[in-house]
Structure 1
Amino acid sequence: MGHLNTLISDLALILVVAGVTTLLFKWLKQPVVLGYIVAGFLVGPHFSFFPTVSDLANINVWSEIGIIVLLFSLGLEFSFRKLVNVGGSAVITAAVIVVGMMLLGYAAGRILHFTYLDSVFLGGMLSMSSTTIIIKAFTDLNMRKQKFTSIVFGVLIVEDMFAVLMMVLLSSIAVNNELEGSELIYSILKLAFFLITWFLVGIFVIPTFLKKARRFLNSETLLVVSMGLCLGMVVLASYAGFSSALGAFVMGSILAGTNEAEKIEKVVQPVKDLFGAVFFISVGMLVDPVILTQYALPIILLSLVVICGQILFGTTGMLISGQPLNVAVKSGFSLSQIGEFAFIIATLGMTLKVIDGFLYPIVVAVSVITTFTTPYFIKMADPASKWIENHLPERLSFLIDRYSANASTVQVENPWKKVLGVYLGKIALYSTILIGILILSLSWFIPMIEDVVPDSWGTTLGVVITLAVMSPFLWGLAMKRINSRKLMSIKENKSANFVPLFLMVILRFLIGLAFVVYFLSKVYSQRTGVLLGVVLFVLITLFLSKRLQRQILSLESRFMDNLNERELRRTGKKNNLVHNMHLAHMEVYGSCEFIGKRLADANIHRNYGVNIVSIKRGNKRINIPKGDSRIFPGDLISVIGTDEQIQRFLEAVEPEDAGTDAEEPEIHFEFERIAIPNDSSLIGKTLAQSGIREKDSCLVVGIEHADGSFYEPTADFLFKKGDMIWIVGEKEKIGAILS
């Protein structure tokens, strides 16, 4: 009971203080995340003039949940398709940043007379920007929908993947004083295997499960199910040796392609806000004024290294990947901090006892300082970009623009490159599935069957069931035809060299045979595996071809439908009605051009050719809406039309550039009762003649005469001396009416 009281009292303290500080920072028009950091410092153990949190361990657990929920929410906005689209720029930029910052951090460490291993680990700590901090800063500044942010998020996710490899690299250097190449390659293959497996299983199973359970999913159950899936993936990722944040992001990106993605975002939002706040408060608790004073010079120097280095390498990486100068500069300025992963690397070094203890508090201080400055640098990015564009030499500016234009132009591609890419992709996909089946069978399934069924019968039964499960994927790997337009163009070219195609077919066949032989050799002897494997593989691929073809095509179709479920709902391409007509479902954005209009006045059918058959607003559904029905932001509408009609209408309902504008200033409306002065220009005019609504954007809701009588205003109402008017509008505009 005492532990419970400590937990509640600590949470009450940090939330009350955080509430006050964030209100103050909002009033000062400063980013909210800075208010959380200040609140954390005030309630932390290093500030003695204020009540202090009793149990830091509880706060650390809650802050870790905050990181998980923030990354899960990011994944919900960053679907697998988006990740692929920004993949090239993200990988190149992340590689430039990580390599550049590791070298710069090592050099800074040596300048500060740190040891060799201290400097190596310092380079690793300074090379990773903080996903959590950037997400929060973009949210506070209302920049989540801008073009460059999706690329920044891609860089952050790739950096998280690099972080897994960096842990192996640093551990190898610390223990062996050299880099173990085989261990690093194993980690890369392991990461790729688990990522592909997670996406394949998740996309195949989860959308189908949500579709079956849809009628039971209200807000409460959807929150429980989605958070259960998120934390389940976190456990799997941690068990496999990866970060919990990576697991949370993967599950979010899987759910991002489902029909329930928008609902999940809404129900998870309060959880994200609460636990995210606790995370940033916990960062503020790490601020120690004594450490800041004692190591002031290294902290200041390393903070400058982080800010300048991340901006330089981030911008350079974006330019190399073909992004325009404006996008590159904004991205570089957004990445100018280090975060939670620096603490993880520091903890690793201390656990291995290869770095000095003073390095940890220095890195914590640098992280807090750069967290504090991040929102300001993000705000500075646009003016800095314009300044650079104005002062850049014309020749260099021309070269950057031309390079960016060439990089974004679709190049004429060698057809063989495309065809071989498709073949290699299929080999990687089916090989990953088969490896997963073999691991499960050899480590768990066959031993379990042998425990239940005695003697050799259990082994035989386990082998038969495993081969039955493997068979459609073996056929897909070794025998499935590749349907590609590029391949057809090669076949139509009589002078083409078909040797690469022939070799690829042989390679697929041999890889499939190798899986069967390996499996049987592990269960029986090597000789039995080879002899029996060849016979069974020929039987599977040749004699069962038609049945296996139907199975694999059905599995592929279901997988692709699940992967594109959200897009298919919007475009209706899977909802064929008659001829080429489809039923599509889409959400109305706030920037839609016919918001608030009656359907009769919007001329939707005349302009776009589609027919609206349903409008869902909250829990209310309007089927076959009449002409006087209106459309409002957030409505889910169902329409019928052709592919072209639906696509044109979709661009109007869900504009691509929705939400990309800068943050609008917050406008406060007042409701006031004011007296009309005796010399007011309103006296003797009607309400319609006054222009209060049209010119001043204010609304008169009531008029009180001097005798106390009250009237609801009409257009022909005449203003008189002594009238009191009840008016709604901005305070400045209300004052201007009577001046």
Structure 2
Amino acid sequence: MGHLPDLIRDLALILMAGAIITLIFKKIKQPLVLGYIIAGFLVGPYFKVFPTVADHENIEIWAEIGVIFLLFSLGLEFSFKKLVRVGGAASITAFVEIAFITVSGYFAGRWMGWSTMDSLFLGGMLASSSTTIIIRAFDELGVKTKQYARIVFGVLVVEDIVVILLMVLLSTIAVTKQFEGMEIVYTIVKLLFFLAIWFIAGIFLLPTLLKKARALLDEENLLILSIGLCLAMVVLATKVGFSAELGAFIMGSIIAETTSAEKVEHLTKPVKDLFGSIFFVSVGMLIDPQAIIQYGWPVVVVTLLTLFGKLFSTTIGALISGQPLKQSVQVGMSMAQIGEFAFIVATLGLSLGVISDFLFPIAVGASAITTFTTPYLIKFSESFYFFLERFLPESWIRRLNTYSSGTQSIQAETDWRIVLKSYRNIVVSNGVLLLILIWLTLNFLVPYLEKTIEGDTTKSVVALVISLVLGLPFLWAIMAKRPDNSAYKELWMEKKYNKGPLFILEVGRVLLGLVLIVIWTVQIIPTRGAIFIVLPVVAGVLFLFAKRMNNFYSKLEKRFFTNLNARETETFNTLSARVARKNVVFQTQLTPWDAHIVQLEVPPDAAYIGKPLKDLQWREKYGINVVYIRRAESLIHVPDRKQFLLPFDQVGIVATDEQITAFKPVFDQRVVRDKDAYDIDIGEIVFEQLLVDEHTQLKGVSIRNSGLRERTNGLVIGIERNNERILNPDSTTIFDWGDIIWIVGERSKIQSLKTTK
């Protein structure tokens, strides 16, 4: 008998336990993540009834791979442009909530007598809510179409990226044991610097690679390449002092900007699901019931802090961002739970050996409780608002609503704001590129030249010349590139008093470029005299080759933005994308009216299909407006009363939350089918023959007049006549003696017809 490695036995145990428990959790409509954790507890060392995992070390490695793929998958769903499009309201709400709950978590830990690291990681664990739990609760309660749901989804996007950054900071602090403000600032700057390098290089190179190799990449090769890129970035991130999770997330977010994003996400989903399940099962294996009982009081404290702290801070954040009181309360009560990131943060702390073992069961206990409370908080959020409305002074509510209306009013950007933003983008983007180039020169080029060139002066001159040649296009952009928009031209050409400030801006950025050249030179050649040689030479080259610099920079810029926008460009002009963009614009304009635009899909068996809108009277009964009907790649704008709906039409509806709540059950109403007429056992459908004789009495009768369709609930497929076969005969065909009729229909009805005399 051959030897079976413990790893295979352990995987069999983990996956079978996970599969069985999650089936039960699906049946009782609970989050699968919680099911995996319970499965892990059942096969863990603290539960002796079932077999236990033997090789914990190998399972921990697989669990770490699971975290990597979870973060890679999150990056694929993320996209940096998605963060930009989240909007100010969701961003402000998220930052207020995260700042409050993180700081509160830290001080709660210190109040309970925990160490500094335990308290810091507790704050990080509380920073995110559970996307899985919220989406499931929204689906079950039918509130995804409500206005506040849009803010909740935006907050979840911001939380994801902030918690990733928190993980990096926590791991850095844990390793260096440095808590000083300057050390943290240095870590943040270092993180942003490497994020810029990876993002710029990735966007510049990766989409081009995937585009060039598209013809050669089948599903197998694309899967291998994607996983290889993910793990390569993981290695690179750990080499420069960051976590593996950050590397996986960054590579996922870079691939998310390519045209292959959806395909990569589809191909890697089974991998993520497999290793992710192992990770969450391994989390459950760490649960010690005795520890949860022993630390019952901290579990209660963390749970209450999560429920009330997140509810309060998110509500305040939404109010500050300009949301009405009712919507702010609904957002706050939707976010009051601990997300899956809590387990990832806790696992990070345990792997680094900087947090206590009791932190894990506390997180699991609080997570389990808040998982069950979330649907009820969302369900009763409106009732809680009405309760508040009765007790709050009327003047407070009036002021809050006035503040909300004021912040949501539409204010057009002035020309000066547009121009200043353009200057900022030019200076910051190219300044970051030059700083990256200086860093690469000092850390890679100079050490390489020290090994290959003798003489310090020669080495420094060669390094300076190479790096400056590479940096000239970006120096030119900082010092000379004009904003490419109509606002700049209007300010420069039409208003004389604008020329003075514009001239100062131009001079200022030229001086900034010269300062960068000086810093660059001093870093490589410490001799002060070199500055007086380098400055005029570089200035002269920029002046003489300005046109070539402009052309070269334009090509680089075009290449970068083409790659960055490739995914959107591919679908930009589709009707679906154009409607989505227009809906975003309308949404902003509708906010002060306490209304929003919702797109609903017509069910295939809806009761109203084919009926004119005038007969449905939706506007008169429910106060909603149908503003468009999208049918495949056609758009019916402001449909008239004669228009009707077809299966899978996308219907744009303008309404308030109350109107949508009343209207949605009507829109989702299905046709009530006659069960006896339609639900037939497939085994009863047969292919039978029928002889035309004195019993059937079909001689001289046409197929149409024979009533066979109704009498057998079937179709005449063929007729055998004089050793010839007629396939799919015409309905006017006349039956003759001895014809053999082949019918597809119900067995019992055909048999009844045969025996009829």
* Structure 2 Cα separation of the partners of residues 595 and 478 of structure 1: 60
Match in the other structure for 2:157: 153
What is the aligned partner in structure 1 of residue 7 from structure 2?
7
Render the CA deviation track for 1:322-370: whole Å, top value 9, x for unaligned: 346447634653352161354268559964xxx8x4xx41x21221123
The answer on 1:482 being equivalent to 2:483 is yes
| Whole-angstrom CA distance in 2 between matches of 1:253 and 1:139 | 25
Q: Which residue of 1 aligns with 2:548?
A: 547
Q: Aligned-pair RMSD on alpha carbons?
A: 4.3
1:96 and 1:317 in contact (8 A); partners too: yes
Query: Per the alignment, do residues 477 and 230 of structure 1 end up closer, same or farther by CA in structure 2, a change over 3 Å counting?
Result: same
1:170 CA drift (Å): 7.9
SS across alignment from 1:319: helix
Partner residue in 2 for 1:669: none
Query: Is 1:698–2:651 an aligned residue pair?
Result: no
Question: Measured at CA, do residues 77 and 126 of structure 1 come closer, stay the same or move farther in structure 2, by a change above 3 Å?
Answer: closer
| Aligned partners of 2:67 and 2:344 also within 8 Å | no
Is residue 387 of structure 1 aligned with residue 386 of structure 2? Answer: no
Which letter maps to 2:127?
A: M
The equivalent residue for 2:101 is 101
Partner of 1:322: 322
- Paired residue secondary structure (1:215): coil
Does residue 258 of structure 2 align to residue 258 of structure 1?
yes
> How far did residue 552 of structure 1 move?
0.6
Post-superposition CA distance 1:564-589 (Å, at most 9, x none): 1111111359xxxxxxxxxxxxxxxx
Take 1:385 and 1:180, find their aligned partners in 2: how far apart are those partners? 41
| Aligned residue identity for 1:320 | I
**Does structure 1 residue 364 correspond to structure 2 residue 360?**
yes
Change (3 A) 1:142 1:420: same
- 2:491 equivalent to 1:510: no
Q: Report how many residues are paired.
A: 617
Q: C-alpha displacement at 1:17, in angstroms?
A: 0.8
2:131 pairs, out of 117, 131, 134, with 134
Of 94-103 and 114-123, the range deviating more from structure 2: 114-123
User: Does 1:34 pair with 2:34?
Assistant: yes
Q: Which residue of 2 aligns with 1:677?
A: none
Q: How much has 1:9 moved relative to structure 2?
A: 1.5
How far off is 1:119 after superposition?
7.8
Q: What SS is found at the alignment partner of 2:215?
A: helix
- Which residue does 1:587 correspond to in 2? none
Q: Which residue in the other structure is 1:570 paired with?
A: 571
Matched, 1:463 2:444: no
Give 2:43's aligned residue. 43
In 1: Cα distance, 2:532 partner to 2:40 partner: 68
Q: Secondary structure at the match of 1:129?
A: coil
Alpha-carbon deviations, 1:545-570, whole Å to 9, x = none?
00010011111111111111111111
Q: What letter corresponds to residue 526 of structure 2 in structure 1?
A: S
Structure 1 counterpart of 2:280, which letter? F
1:210-250 per-residue CA deviation (whole Å, 9 max, x = no partner) reads 10010111111111111222222233333333333333232
SS of the residue 1:526 aligns to? coil
Aligned CA distance change for structure 1 residues 205 and 632 (closer, same or farther; 3 Å)? farther
Q: How many angstroms does 1:64 deviate by?
A: 2.4
8 A contact 1:40–1:282 mirrored in 2: yes
Distance 1:654 1:76 in 2: 27
SS of residue matched to 1:393 = helix
Task: Choose which of 696, 702, 710 in structure 2 pairs with 1:717.
Answer: 710
How far 1:67 sits from its partner (Å)? 2.3
Judged with a 3 Å threshold, the aligned counterparts in structure 2 of structure 1 residues 427 and 653 are, in CA distance, closer, same or farther, namely: farther
CA contact (8 A) 1:450 1:459 kept: no
The answer for the alignment partner of 2:194 in structure 1 is: 194
Q: Check the 8 A contact 1:169/1:180 in 2, yes or no.
A: no
- Match for 1:218: what amino acid? D
Shift in alpha-carbon separation, 1:119–1:163, aligned structure 2, 3 A = closer
Q: Aligned partners of 2:25 and 2:118: how far apart in 1?
A: 37
Cα separation, partners in 2 of 1:315 and 1:697, compared to 1, 3 Å: farther
Structure 1 alignment gaps of length 5 or more = 574-589, 602-630, 640-651, 665-690, 728-739
CA distance in 2, matches of 1:139, 1:508: 52
User: In the alignment, is the contact (CA less than 8 A) between 2:259 and 2:570 conserved in 1?
Assistant: yes
Change in Cα spacing, 1:458 to 1:726, as seen in structure 2 (3 Å) is: farther
Indicate how the Cα distance of structure 1 residues 100 and 704 shifts in structure 2: closer, same or farther if over 3 A, else same. Answer: closer
Matches of 1:4 and 1:489, distance apart in 2: 77
Superposition pairs for residues 282-361 of structure 1, below 5 Å? 282-323=282-323, 325-326=326-327, 329-330=330-331, 333-334=334-335, 336-337=337-338, 339-340=342-343, 342-343=345-346, 346-347=349-350, 351=354, 357=356, 360-361=357-358
| 1:399-451, Cα deviation, whole Å (9 max, x unpaired) | 55554454444323343333222212221111111111111122112332443
Task: Identify which range, 7-16 or 387-396, moves more after superposition.
Answer: 387-396
Q: How does 1:419-498 map to 2 (within 5 A)?
A: 419-455=419-455, 459-492=460-493, 494=495, 496-498=497-499
Residues 411, 52 of structure 1: alpha-carbon distance in 2 compared, 3 angstrom cutoff? same
Residues 220/290 of structure 1: CA separation in 2 closer, same or farther (3 Å cut): same
- Secondary structure in structure 2 of the residue aligned to 1:311: helix
How far apart in 2 are the matches of 1:331 and 1:225? 41
Percent same amino acid among aligned pairs? 34
The residue correspondences of 1:528-539 to structure 2 (distance < 5 A) are 528-539=529-540
Q: In structure 2, what is the Cα distance between the partners aligned to 1:222 and 1:139?
A: 31
**CA 1:391 to 1:52, structure 2 compared with 1: closer, same or farther past 3 Å?**
same
Q: In structure 2, do the counterparts of structure 1 residues 161 and 117 end up closer, same or farther at CA, with 3 Å as the change threshold?
A: closer
TM-score by length of 1: 0.73
1:675 match? none
Equivalent pair of 2:134/2:334 in contact (CA under 8 Å): no
CA contact (8 A) 1:313 1:332 kept: no
Report the counterpart of residue 586 of structure 1 in structure 2: none
Question: Offset of 1:277 from its aligned partner?
Answer: 1.0
Distance 2:138 2:389 in 1: 32
SS, match of residue 76 in structure 1: helix
- 400-409 or 262-271, larger mean C-alpha shift: 400-409
Q: Which structure has the greater CA radius of gyration?
A: 2
Query: CA deviation digits over 1:605-643, x for unaligned, max 9?
Result: xxxxxxxxxxxxxxxxxxxxxxxxxx999xxx9x9xxxx
TM-score, with normalisation over the residues of structure 2? 0.71
Give the Cα–Cα distance (whole angstroms) in 1 for the partners of residues 60 and 506 of structure 2.
54
When residues 160 and 90 of structure 1 are mapped into structure 2, their CA distance, relative to the original with a 3 A threshold, is farther
Q: Could you say what secondary structure the match of 1:49 adopts?
A: coil
Distance 1:268 1:140, change over 3 A: farther
- Write the distance in 2 (CA, Å) between the matches of 1:632 and 1:225: 38
**Aligned AA for 1:134?**
T
Judge conservation of contact 1:315–1:331 (CA < 8 Å) in 2: yes
Asked whether the equivalents of residues 10 and 54 of structure 1 are also in contact (C-alpha less than 8 Å), the reply is yes
User: 1:533 Cα deviation (Å)?
Assistant: 2.3
C-alpha separation between the residues in 1 aligned to 2:118 and 2:257? Answer: 43
Compared with structure 1, are the counterparts of its residues 464 and 334 closer, same or farther at alpha carbon in structure 2 (3 Å cutoff)? same
For residue 214 of structure 1, give the secondary structure of its aligned residue in structure 2. coil
Shift of 1:52: 0.9
Q: Could you say if the C-alpha distance between residues 105 and 86 of structure 1 is closer, same or farther in structure 2, counting changes exceeding 3 Å?
A: same
Shift of 1:53: 1.1
CA positional deviation for 1:697:
5.4
Do 2:31 and 2:133's aligned partners in 1 also have CA atoms closer than 8 Å?
A: no
Query: Contact (CA 8 Å) 2:68, 2:248: kept in 1 or not?
Result: yes
Aligned to 1:610: none
Residues 349 and 450 of structure 1: CA distance in aligned 2, closer, same or farther (over 3 Å): closer
Task: Check 1:703–1:13 CA distance in 2 against 1; reply closer, same or farther (3 A cut).
Answer: closer
Structure-2 change in CA distance of 1:655 and 1:334 (3 Å): farther
